[in-house]
Amino acid sequence: MSTTNHDHHIYVLMGVSGSGKSAVASEVAHQLHAAFLDGDFLHPRRNIEKMASGEPLNDDDRKPWLQALNDAAFAMQRTNKVSLIVCSALKKHYRDLLREGNPNLSFIYLKGDFDVIESRLKARKGHFFKTQMLVTPV
């Protein structure tokens, strides 16, 4: 018996912090009456504290977070016809981890002008991602 719901599709809106992922996904989810998950909510405390101190995450830091997102994507197959997940997913092997066991998953890469993204990050209050990490290579 297959555990995959082929009538359901998951779209992962990906991009750097400040690219507009959450704003776009929230509006699309509202219009489509789709399930929506902001991947920031699944970061372990250790990751949030590390980013809040201005330190970028490494692959080892991201692994449990990516597994939690993969598990969430699998669980979301039981919801509406469409689900949206927001996360950075900037490296191909991160996307491969998210896609593992979730064949009905597609990525939408949101890009933007550096200055626009930087101004959004500076204007954001209470978020753990620090503006100086925007220039950190992935």
DSSP run (H or E) holding 14: strand 9-14
CA distance 119 to 31: 27
- Predicted pLDDT of residue 75: 93
Name the pLDDT band for 47 (thresholds 50, 70, 90). very high
Does the pLDDT of residue 32 top 90, yes or no? yes
Does the pLDDT of residue 54 top 70, yes or no? yes
Residue 74 and residue 102 in contact, taking contact as beta carbons nearer than 8 Å: yes
pLDDT in tens, 86-122: 999 999 999 999 999 999 999 999 887 777 767 766 6
**Alpha-helical runs (H) found in 2-138:** 21-32, 45-52, 59-76, 92-99, 114-123
User: Is CATH 3.40.50.2300 the right assignment for the domain spanning 9-135?
Assistant: no
Question: What is the reported pTM?
Answer: 0.79
The domains of the chain are located at: 9-135
List the one residue out of 80, 137, 104, 133 whose CA is nearest residue 12: 104
